[in-house]
Structure 1
């Protein structure tokens, strides 16, 4: 039997202090499902796009007082000018007669312009009512959906024997409901115009970017941006069966001023960024090409916004055009421009070779 003592004497340990209870979380847990689909963040609208939305939205109530004042002024002026012209022709006083005839011509032009403006506003209201009816197509029956489809055909200025309309009639069946008719309209009538609108936006935005990149003056850049933006939005409106009036064009010019200010400030920003941050864009894009790319992207954003607003039927969620689809095309156009400029020999190179 071993009588040796244990070299390690016994030790006593005090019990651990009780852990204080944790304070309850003031925010309760929120369970989330793991099978939710990914939804892209909505694109932020610029001030120019918001002005475009308000301009192409449904017009407000007609101001009958202002219209009555304008119509009465034109009518009384025409009567006064006609009376003066008749009296001058009887008395042989040709100078007042010439002024009266000129006034009659001016009043006639003003009256015709006012009539066209009212007709365009009426067409804009019909277009907005058509958008509301097409948005309710899933809840409509076959007969009502076909009636709305015929209204859309007339709004797009398509004949009865147009291939797109004939393709729609061949694809539509009596058992189709409103949702099926909506998909057929989107495929046969609107998809070809969507492709044409995308080519138009890409081409005109690329041309604007190239023009700004090669333009040496800031004032010329601003004029180019204003001119090309007005022309692009006007063509998009006509493509979907709309025509802007004089009031719409004035509001359009006001929104384009935002682009003009951007075109003037982007040149200063590009030089300031190159000086302060030593950002050498020559490896990828030069300063002028970078400015052209920024203006071209802004022009493309306004074009896409105008397309969404003027399209009679809203885009499906997964088919709405995005600015990212056009960014690469603008980049490639500017890269080709710089590559051709670098490949072209200068006068100094020719003199050195000679």
Structure 2
């Protein structure tokens, strides 16, 4: 028997030395093209979508210059037509009798002076509303950049803007005593929010709750849906104006229209107008649907719609964003409003005050 063995084929194991070249990655995953996902980011994607930060509101559309030119030219033409009509009327009065002509000219002069006064008042009201928007914008910028100089200038302007509000007298005195002891800009803004706006926020929440109660009662006993719609519109309009006056805006007619447009835009962006299924789910979740009759439940829904409008108006007319003070939520009003609708005795119910 021969000692020679038949040839065989062997598969060598892969080389595991340290100098071995690693396996080449696909080109789409190499270098700068490679995206690294951390476990924290995976947890964010696996979590609840509702807890993610809300998307920023869409940028306002630019106004059309053609529209501005059209309305400007049309306004001038209407003004000329009205002026010529008044001129023809006065000439006709002079043709009939001199005293009638002078009487008509005097009335025209009084009307012109009243129009100038109205326009001046509307311009002042629009200026106050613009000041509120400017203060809120400056506060956001100072908080973002952590600028102590901008924060001090903002706090001074805010104290001057709210100087006419008696609710802020104690807060202004405290702020004046402590403002030089605070070095950090965001801390100074938080101090100003706590001292100056906290009493106004409490009054604003009481106004919102009272409006919701009135809407709940009226819509619960009204026989027609059109009455509900008209009263909700009236109460919401009055609530927007009273909140603006509370925070120092005091809008006129044009300012109110501008403010109402801003509130509607805020509601559209935040989705707060969806008071249908979501609000019914909230009522059922709080165990209130079984306690209230159908008509009272409808009144609570209408009251909560008014509350949502008031919350949006509060966000719009408030000179500072909510930073040190918690923003009120629907739940702060829901319990008090439902108890009021169920018992009819809710005069002492107040919403939960925002925690600092």
Unpaired segments ≥5 residues, structure 2: 1-34, 268-275, 281-287, 347-356
Aligned length: 284
Maintained 8 Å contact 1:193/1:239: yes
Picking from 173, 179, 198, the partner of 2:205 is 198
Maintained 8 Å contact 2:289/2:297: no
SS of 2:180 mapped into structure 1: coil
Picking from 129, 132, 141, the partner of 1:127 is 132
Where do residues 133-282 of structure 1 align in structure 2 (5 Å cutoff)? 133-138=138-143, 139=145, 141-158=147-164, 162-250=169-257, 252=260
Residue deviations 1:86-131, cap 9 Å, x none? 9978995233333333333333332222222222222222222221
Say if 2:309 is the partner of 1:296. Answer: no
Where do residues 293-332 of structure 1 align in structure 2 (5 Å cutoff)? 293-316=300-323, 319-332=326-339
**1:318 Cα deviation from its structure 2 partner:** 7.4
**1:230 Cα deviation from its structure 2 partner:** 0.7
The verdict on how the C-alpha distance between 1:228 and 1:196 changes in structure 2, with shifts beyond 3 A counting, is: same
Unpaired segments ≥5 residues, structure 1: 1-27, 260-265, 271-280, 340-354
TM-score (norm 1): 0.63
User: Could you tell me how far apart the structure 2 residues matched to 1:76 and 1:154 are?
Assistant: 44
Picking from 330, 334, 340, the partner of 1:333 is 340
**1:294 Cα deviation from its structure 2 partner:** 0.8
Where do residues 89-108 of structure 1 align in structure 2 (5 Å cutoff)? 92-108=97-113
Maintained 8 Å contact 2:263/2:316: no
Higher relative contact order, chain-length normalized (CA < 8 Å, sep 6+): 1
Residue deviations 1:9-29, cap 9 Å, x none? xxxxxxxxxxxxxxxxxxx99
User: Could you tell me how far apart the structure 1 residues matched to 2:200 and 2:342 are?
Assistant: 29
**1:235 Cα deviation from its structure 2 partner:** 0.7
SS of 1:162 mapped into structure 2: helix
Maintained 8 Å contact 1:81/1:104: no
SS of 1:285 mapped into structure 2: coil
User: Could you tell me how far apart the structure 2 residues matched to 1:288 and 1:144 are?
Assistant: 53
User: Could you tell me how far apart the structure 1 residues matched to 2:257 and 2:116 are?
Assistant: 19
TM-score (norm 2): 0.63
Residue deviations 1:290-328, cap 9 Å, x none? 111111111101100111111111113871111121111
User: Could you tell me how far apart the structure 2 residues matched to 1:187 and 1:292 are?
Assistant: 34
**1:135 Cα deviation from its structure 2 partner:** 1.4
Residue deviations 1:183-212, cap 9 Å, x none? 101110011111111111111111111111
User: Could you tell me how far apart the structure 2 residues matched to 1:60 and 1:324 are?
Assistant: 41
